[in-house]
Amino acid sequence: MTLHRTMLVFIMFLCILTAPYVYAADILNQIHPYISVSGEYDDNINLTSHNKINDFITTILPGIKFSNMDAKSGIDLDVSAGLVFYDKNPNLNYISGNGSLNAKYMTSEHLNFYLKEYYLRSDNPREQEYLTPAADNKYVLSTSTQRSVYWRNVFAPTVEYQFGQESSIGVNYRHNIYQTDASISENSIENYINPFITYWFDKRNGIHLEYAYTNGDFESSPDLNGQKVTARYMNRLNQKATAFVEGAYTNQSFALSSMDYNIYEPSVGLSYVFTPSLTASAQIGYYWMEYLNQDPKFNGLTFKVDLANTDARTTYVLSIQGGYTEDYFTSQNLGFQKYYRATGSVKHNLEKRFSIGCSGSIERVEFVGTERIDTIWSVGPSASYQPLKWLTLSLEISHNANESNIPADEYIENKGILKLTASY
C-alpha cells in the first residue's frame, strides 16, 4: 500500500468513527494545534571516530493533536511537520515529519477493530523503534554514518473477535515501508500477517497460539520469506501472578538460499502485577540457531525482564533482554546478531508544572561472521517546565558512544536540545 492510499484509509477510518456520535463543536474542542521551536547543538553529527563535524540545528515544528478516545472507541492522533536548518551545513536542511495514530472501535457484537499508523521523516543516524513509546528509549540496531533523509510509514490494523472475557481470535497485519536517500543504505518493504488465538479454559488455565508470516522486499539484498510459530501455556497462580511456558520456531528463507536459517527457542516466564500502576515480567529460555546450508551454528541463553511504573507522580520503564536480535527493514539490515541490551527512563514530577527525568541504555553486539564486538551506550538528563498552561520549556542533554574493537566504528557524541512549545 502506497503512502497516499494509507492516508486515504486513515481519513476514511477517522470519518467512520467520529461522524455517528460526535458533533462538530465537540470535534473542534478536541483539536489542539501546537508549534515548537528548538535549538540543538551536536558535536558529532555523523557519528564518526575521526574528522568530527559539529553543528547547531534549528527546528521549527508546527503540529496538531486530536483525541476523543474512550473505553469503547476513539482516536489519538498527533501529526507534525518541521523545517530543519543546519547552521554550518545548510546543504543538509530538510523538511521533517512525524505522525502517530491509535484508533479503536469495539462493537456490541464483540467484533473489535484497531488501527495503528506511524510516520517518520528524519535524518537522525539512530532510529527509534517504531510503534514503541518514546519512554521505552529503544532504538533499532542499525546506525547510519551519514546524515541523509529517510522516511518510514507503518500501517498496522487488527481485527479481533472476543468470544470470552479473556478469550479472542484475530489477525494482525503490518505494512512497513522504509525509504532512504543514503547511498550506503537500501529501501525495503515489509508485509507481515499474524493470526492468533487466546483461549482460557477456566480462570486459571489458558493458551495462546500464533503464526506470523513476513514477506520482505529489499532493494539490493536477497528478498525474505519468514515464518514464526509460537505456542504458550499460561497458568494464573493468583490474581497478581501468571506463569507461562512457551515454545517458538522461526524459519527465515532468502532468495539467496545460503542465508536461510532456523531458530528454536523454548522458555518459561512470569508476569506480576504489584499494583495497578506497577507491573513486571520476566522470561528466560534457550535458543538454537542454525544455518541450513552452512556453518556455524549458535546457541545460548535468552532472557527478558520488563518493569514499568505509571503513577501520577513518577513514571519509569526498565527493560533488559539478551540472547539475539534480528535486524531487518532498517538502514543496514544487519540480520541475526548475538545481542544484549538494557534500556530505561524515569520521569518525576517535582510539582504540577515542573518535571525532571533521565534516560539511559547500553547494548552489546557480537557480530555474526566477524570478530567485531560493539558496546553502544547513552545517558542523558532532561527537564520540563510549564510557566503557563499553554507554554512548555524543555531541555535534553545526552552523551552517546560506541566502544568497538574496530577503531573505525567507534564514536562519541554529545548534544543538547532546548525546546519551546506553545499549544492551544
Q: Is 322 within the bounds of a domain?
A: yes
Q: Is 81 within the bounds of a domain?
A: no
Residue 13 sits at φ, ψ, to 5 deg, of: -65, -40
Tell me the mean pLDDT in the region 193-214. Answer: 98
Q: Is 406 within the bounds of a domain?
A: yes
The residue length of the chain stands at 424
Q: How far apart are CA 178 and CA 129, in angstroms?
A: 13
Q: Is 248 within the bounds of a domain?
A: yes
Q: Is 19 within the bounds of a domain?
A: no
Q: Is 335 left (phi over 0), alpha (psi -120 to 50) or beta?
A: left
Tell me the mean pLDDT in the region 80-101. Answer: 97
How far is the CA of 195 from the CAs of 147, 158, 229, 339, 379, in angstroms? 38, 10, 10, 28, 38
Q: Is 82 within the bounds of a domain?
A: no
Q: Is 74 within the bounds of a domain?
A: no
Q: How far apart are CA 245 and CA 141, in angstroms?
A: 28
Three cell numbers written together for 279:
507491573
pLDDT band at 312 (very low <50, low <70, confident <90, very high): confident
- How many structural domains compose the chain? 1
Are 337 and 325 contacting, i.e. CB atoms less than 8 angstroms apart? yes
pLDDT at 258: 81
pLDDT in tens, 225-270: 999 999 999 999 999 999 999 999 999 999 977 889 999 999 999 9
Q: Is 10 within the bounds of a domain?
A: no
| pTM of the model as a whole | 0.90
CATH code: domain of residue 257: 2.40.160
pLDDT at 92: 97
Tell me the mean pLDDT in the region 119-127. Answer: 96
Range of the domain at 204: 107-389+397-419
pLDDT at 20: 54
